[in-house]
Amino acid sequence: MTMEGGFVLGMVFRMTMEDDFVLGMVFRMTMEDDFVLGMVFRMTMEDDFVLGMVFRMTMEDDFVLGMVFRMTMEDDFVLGMVFRMTMEDDFGMTGECHPEQPALLSS
């Protein structure tokens, strides 16, 4: 799955996710945020899911101009294997800017 959202100041948000559902249940996510002011944010995650199969992550990053990036992810792996993600981008100097609707991925 690839998502691209355009922000008010020409900021580009790219996210690439790979979900390999095998007996090990490995989840890999790579995020890259390239901002016009040269700020780059990269994150790589690997999580091994067991019989609990519940993954929650909350991230907050403060950028140079007071920009706050919040991401909340919840993975509820039932028989349908539903993946939900909600993103919020609050820019202190330009007000609030929201990306597209929350992504819904069923495997």
Reading the block at residue 98, the tokens are 């929201």
Model pLDDT for residues 52-100, shown as the tens digit of each residue:
333 333 344 444 333 333 334 444 443 333 333 344 444 433 333 444 4
Q: How far apart are CA 83 and CA 102, in angstroms?
A: 10
| Full-model pTM | 0.16
Model pLDDT for residues 29-46, shown as the tens digit of each residue:
344 444 433 333 333 444
**Residue ranges of domains in the chain:** 9-106
